[in-house]
A and B are shown apart, each in its own frame.
Chain A
Amino acid sequence: MSLDVISAILVSGLVLGSVYALMASGLSLVWTTLGIFNFAHGAFMTVGAYIAWTASDQAGLGYGLAAGIALSVAVMIGLGIVLERVVVRPFYGQRDFLLITVMSTLAAMIVLQKGTQMIWGARLKQLAPIVPGKATLWRTTISAQETLIIVLAPIVLIALQLFLSRTRTGRGIRAVGQNPDAARLIGIDVSRLFYVTFALSAVLAALTGILLGSVRLLTPQFGDDPLVKALIIVIFGGLGSLNGTIVAAYAMGLVEAALTYAIGIYWTPSLIFLLLILVLLVRPQGLLGKVTR
């Protein structure tokens, strides 16, 4: 294998890993805090990107990318809160909470997807890149936007870690995930932190969508593949461990890049699943995971 090939695999693995880490961290946060898998997380990514497109693109409102990002973030905070209220909260405390919310968030995903199709149509769209042009990393040339993704992901993830470990609200979110009753008894408004968590995760998904929306093309199914990958990553990384999730995201990106080079894009997804199953046979708790959430 030449250095060029290694470089190409590493760089594209890093891009993929960054995207997955951003997606999966939001999914992981919702899992640890509320104890559900949010299947609408991919739709958050799609909708977030479309909203940014509408506000920014000349074919839309044409206010430019900054306005697009701002509007998208604002709308996603609202959408996150509404979704938590409508498809999660009514079932909280029920015996089959996890299974019911699998169905209800899947339903939300379908509604959001069909809504996207209805509002924006099936025609392909693309966001303008935040940074235009090309950049060369080591021996591989990628778009400047992809370089931005590589740089921005760790910054966002570190900010997320700091938020969770240093701020009152962040610590509160962790407390709610670890023991909601004990959290209530020290005066934490658990419902409010559920909203905050959902909104935060929706914003993370939208951010991923906005970053990726100039690299890939926007379709109503834009978020499907990242959602599936993020789900695998959250399980793979060990449920309930944000660090495990992040490590798993980058591992998945690199493995996917290497497999795609070695055996092509056709069989790669199947092999990734096979790999996941093998790892879980050896380590049922995932890479860095705990046994329970």
Chain B
Amino acid sequence: MTAPDTAPPAAADTAPDTAPDIALDVRDLRAGYDASDVLEGICLQVARDERVGLFGPNGHGKSTLLNTISRVIRPRAGRVAFMGEEIGQLPAQTIVARGLVHVPQANRLFPDMQILETLELSAYTPRARAAKDETLDRVLQLFPRLAERRRQACKTLSGGERQMLSIGVGLMSAPRMLMLDEPTLGLSPKLKDELAEAIAAISATGIPLLLVEQDIAFTLSLVDRMYLIDHGAISREVGRSGGVDHQEIMEMYFGTGEGA
């Protein structure tokens, strides 16, 4: 297993054992659909106290990466470790039970289920069920709009409400780490601010974050560090020491992306 030359130097093939402060450790992950390869050897790490952004042009494999980590699709090669344990071979439900929770892009959830029912069901794993009532209170506090509409079916929710519910569903699964895929897709600036606040509040409780986002300002307000994904590989990483520099990001995005 050799890392492609686009991999960041930090991917250290020479240190296969995960450091104890690493929450998520992805090594040379490859995946795709049928005949097409999408991920060409992804390496990335998220520390236990870290919020990391993942950024890149449309169709370059961000969602595929999250789907592979959470085992919605099967990896073709590579390793994934979560909290120091290999999870690459585990089925999706076990990964959730371990606490690695994926909130997918534009999740339409369960069209005919009501909000409250969906949230209750989402505390499905034993660990999540044990904390169900508390978490439900917290989610409804975080998103009062969901509380107002608790009997409304998922399919009738607005885009913003659905996004809130998706994140709420993620929280109900009792995450020890959250992977959010484009939580602000198609939302108004005002709603984006609301969501950013909610996500910051979630992450302030000590939950590490891997955030996929197209909105740079939104991402910058939330993360400590960012990866740029380019044609299925990590092409750059910024902000490991100190904060993330806006200018640097703009250069990175418009310099190496295929035009936004």
Contact = CB atoms under 8 A, between A and B. Distances in A.
Interface string A157-191: 00000000000100110110011011111111110
Contacts of A181: 72, 104
Contact of B70 (A168, A175, A179, A185): A185
B102 A185 contact: yes
B72 A187 contact: no
Contact of A172 (B91, B101, B124): B124
Nearest to A184: B92
Q: How large is the interface on A (under 10, 10 to 19, 20 to 34, 35 or more residues)?
A: 10 to 19
Most buried by B among A174, A175, A184, A185: A185
A171 B117 contact: yes
B110 A175 contact: yes
A260 to B, nearest CB: 36
A190 B71 CA distance: 13
Nearest to A181: B72
Contacts of B120: 171
A234 B2 CA distance: 54
B109 A182 contact: yes
Contacts of B92: 184-185, 187
A32 to B, nearest CB: 10
B184 interface: no
Contacts of B72: 181, 184-185
Contact of A187 (B104, B117, B173): B173
A183 B96 CA distance: 11
Nearest to B127: A187
Contacts of A174: 110, 112-113
Contact of B125 (A175, A178, A183, A187): A187
B111 A185 contact: no
Interface in A175-214: 175, 178-179, 181-190
A239 to B, nearest CB: 13
A293 to B, nearest CB: 11
A250 B163 CA distance: 41
12 contacts: A171-B121, A178-B111, A181-B104, A182-B104, A184-B72, A185-B173, A186-B96, A186-B173, A187-B93, A188-B93, A188-B124, A190-B93
Interface of A: 168, 171-172, 174-175, 178-179, 181-190
